[in-house]
Amino acid sequence: MSREILYHSAIQNEIREILAHYGEISDQLADDFWEELTTAFNDARRFPERQHFDPSGRRRVNLTRFPYHFFFRPVTHKLR
């Protein structure tokens, strides 16, 4: 079952900054980051129980090629 993601209000600016940073280095690098991030969001949406459990009670998703991660909590049929 695919769940809706409710994003934190700060995430849009953070992602823009990261994309701008990688875009200054290479358009391909920015595209690679975006692809990995959206794949990680989709994996979390489809399989939240497969993600790392964090002691805070949230789940943690680490990106593979990039030094970033995000946390989420499954809430009913949504991820927060």
Residue 29: predicted pLDDT: 98
Average pLDDT estimate for 34-56: 91
How far is the C-alpha of 8 from the C-alpha of 26, rounded, in Å?
A: 27
Residue 49: predicted pLDDT: 86
Confidence of residue 3 (pLDDT cuts 50, 70, 90): confident
Strand, helix or coil for residue 73: coil
Residue 1 has pLDDT above 70, yes or no: no
- Report the predicted TM-score, pTM, of the whole model to 2 decimal places: 0.88
